[in-house]
């Protein structure tokens, strides 16, 4: 384990970080095991966020480390264009087995952002292959997060992520309204009863643009990054029905919700819905090596592949590291752990305890709303006048001082622990937040 020595922080331009503020007082993690990180100053930190919603089986699992080490000695890298290696195919089959019936064709990427851009390109290619190349529009949603590629920020709806680039976004994109309404649905446990009608906005957009110009609709079934937005009861079902009726491809971005977060392999399974395309990353291999994937219905693969001349490349798309041997070795090992330890079922069985502990903070100072589903919770705080985000940042720091890592976006604290979390650790996470809230103004 490393000592408390602080590296020179100058060269690294940190992602989604207040660089100057961070570098003035760096917070470093130097090792991890199971539910815990170790900080550079030698403190054990309980991981309330599974890293960034991705380390679903807990940290540094030996089986995954061994699979990666073995693979790095046996086949470090193999080209994925016009060549293959066995584990790529095995990992694709294993991922396909966890998808809703019919989504059994898997394209590998290296991140959620790449999965989203890949999904958009596949959707366009599908319509083109079927002679509907005028279907070029996409419908996203306000406050949606679909990564940081130009496709992803175009269909995404987080204003700050789009603002410097508004003139360069993909054309032909429109947005549904988001579904958060604190006045109507504050402190809902699980899915809010209010808000299914917001899906009808899709009918309005279809009327406006005409279905024949729309390729697809992309939403997170459960929106994480924008502050934990839980879909109202009946909302996703309505979106699904409208898409099916008009021939729009429904893309569920399951980068966060995939691999057990809601207590089933996918949110699609949790809600009993089968979209046309699912984007994946993060938990796909416990975040041990960067990897993302896009799962598509077989008819989509068959259409795109079947439309090309035999012997020609059907989809002009792919990454040097698509199905990187180390990344897919980690996938097979991670999926083995999820299955052997029943971690998705575990998440399901812990979710009511998680809900109770989160909602126990109702009435605590500054708490404006509490939202939850599966092993995800968001606690939205009243922003300080003129200083949005500062209160949540201070709670984040106060929790870290007390040995618990939480996330915050805007003034919403987000919780998404590894699925191996123990009930006492759930109490510790929310108990620490309660304490932190008492210390800040």
Q: Out of 47, 174, 220, 380, which residue is the one contacting ligand PXG (CB under 6 A)?
A: 220
Tell me the pairing of strands 277-280 and 249-253: parallel
Residue by residue, DSSP assigns 281-343 as: -GGGGTTSS--EEEEE-HHHHHHHHHHSPTTS-S-----TTTT-HHHHHHHHHHHHHHHHTTH
Site for ligand PXG (CB under 6 A): which residue of 157, 192, 224, 258? 224
175 near ligand PXG (CB under 6 A): no
Single out the residue of 112, 140, 275, 374 in contact with ligand PXG (rule: CB under 6 A).
112
Q: Are 355 and 372 in contact (CB under 8 A)?
A: yes
Extended strands (E) in 79-190: 105-109, 137-141, 173-176
- Per-residue string for binding with ligand PXG, 336-375, x by CB under 6 A? ----------------------------------------
Give the x-and-dash track for 122-161 against ligand PXG (CB under 6 A): -----------------------xxx--------------
Task: Considering the complex, state which of residue 256 and residue 398 has its C-beta at the smaller distance from ligand PXG.
Answer: 256
For helices 423-439 and 390-401, the axis angle rounded to 10 degrees is 120
Inter-residue contact 321 to 89 (CB < 8 Å):
no
Q: Which of 30, 52, 78, 169 binds ligand PXG (CB under 6 A)?
A: 52
Q: Does 225 bind ligand PXG (CB under 6 A)?
A: yes
Binding mask 246-265 for ligand PXG (x = CB under 6 A): -------x-xx---------
How far apart, in whole angstroms, are the C-alpha atoms of residue 38 and residue 238? 45
Give the interface segment with ligand PXG, choosing from 17-25, 107-115, 127-135, 354-362 (CB under 6 A).
107-115
Distances in Å between the Cα of 284 and the Cα atoms of 56, 130, 151, 333, 402 are 9, 31, 22, 10, 31
Shortest separation between residue 112's beta carbon and ligand PXG, angstroms:
2
Which residue, 58 or 292, is less far from ligand PXG as judged by CB? 292
Interaction between residue 409 and ligand PXG (CB under 6 A)? yes
Nearer CB in complex with ligand PXG: 248/255: 255
Q: Is 116 in the site for ligand PXG (CB under 6 A)?
A: yes
Q: Which is nearer to ligand PXG, 147 or 417 (CB)?
A: 147
Of 145, 75, 138, 63, residue with least CA distance to 111: 145
Q: Return d(Cα 281, Cα 330) in angstroms, integer.
A: 12
Q: Which of 115, 177, 167 is nearest to 140 (CA)?
A: 177
Phi-psi region of 145 (alpha: psi -120 to 50; beta: other; left: phi over 0): beta
* Residue 111 makes contact with ligand PXG by CB under 6 A: yes
Q: How far apart are CA 432 and CA 240, in angstroms?
A: 39
Binding site for ligand PXG (CB under 6 A): 52-53, 111-113, 116, 145-147, 220, 224-225, 253, 255-256, 281, 407, 409
């Amino acid at each position: 384990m490393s000592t408390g020595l602080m590296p020179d922080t100058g060269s690294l331009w940190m992602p989604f970080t207040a660089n100057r503020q961070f570098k003035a007082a760096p917070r470093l993690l130097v090792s991890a095991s199971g539910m815990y990180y170790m900080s550079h100053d030698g403190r054990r930190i309980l991981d309330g966020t599974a890293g960034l919603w991705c380390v679903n089986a807990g940290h540094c699992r030996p089986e995954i480390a061994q699979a990666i080490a073995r693979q790095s000695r046996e086949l470090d890298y193999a080209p994925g264009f016009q060549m293959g290696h066995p584990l790529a195919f095995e990992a694709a089959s294993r991922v396909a087995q966890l998808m809703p019936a019919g989504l059994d064709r898997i394209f590998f990427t290296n991140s959620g952002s790449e999965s989203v851009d890949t999904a958009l390109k596949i959707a366009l290619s599908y319509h083109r292959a079927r002679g509907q190349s005028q279907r070029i529009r996409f419908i996203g949603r306000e406050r949606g997060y679909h990564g940081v590629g130009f496709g992803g920020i175009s269909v995404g709806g987080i204003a700050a992520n789009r603002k410097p680039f508004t003139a360069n976004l993909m054309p032909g994109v429109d947005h549904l309204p988001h579904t958060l309404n604190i006045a109507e649905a504050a402190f809902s446990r699980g899915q809010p009863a209010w808000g299914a009608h917001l899906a009808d906005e899709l009918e309005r957009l279809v009327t406006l643009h005409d279905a024949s110009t729309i390729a697809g609709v992309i939403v997170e079934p459960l929106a994480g990054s924008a502050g934990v937005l839980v879909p109202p009861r009946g909302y996703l079902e309505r979106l699904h029905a409208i898409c099916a009726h008009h021939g729009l491809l429904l893309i569920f971005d399951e980068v966060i919700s995939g691999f057990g977060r809601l207590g089933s392999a996918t949110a699609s399974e949790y809600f009993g819905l089968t979209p046309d395309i699912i984007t994946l990353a993060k938990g796909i291999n416990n975040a041990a090596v960067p990897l993302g994937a896009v799962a598509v219905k077989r008819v989509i693969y068959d259409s795109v592949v079947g439309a090309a001349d035999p012997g020609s490349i059907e989809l002009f798309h792919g990454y040097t590291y698509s199905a990187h041997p180390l990344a897919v070795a980690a996938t097979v090992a991670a999926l083995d752990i999820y299955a052997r330890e029943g971690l998705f079922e575990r998440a399901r069985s812990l979710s009511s305890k998680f809900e109770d502990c989160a909602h126990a903070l109702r009435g605590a100072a500054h708490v404006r709303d509490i939202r939850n589903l599966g092993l995800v919770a968001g606690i939205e705080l009243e922003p300080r006048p003129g200083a949005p985000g500062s209160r949540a940042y201070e709670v984040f720091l106060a929790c870290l001082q007390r040995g618990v890592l939480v996330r915050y976006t805007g003034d919403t604290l987000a919780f998404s622990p590894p699925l191996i979390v123990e009930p006492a650790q759930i109490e510790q996470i929310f108990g620490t937040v309660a304490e932190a809230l008492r210390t800040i103004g």
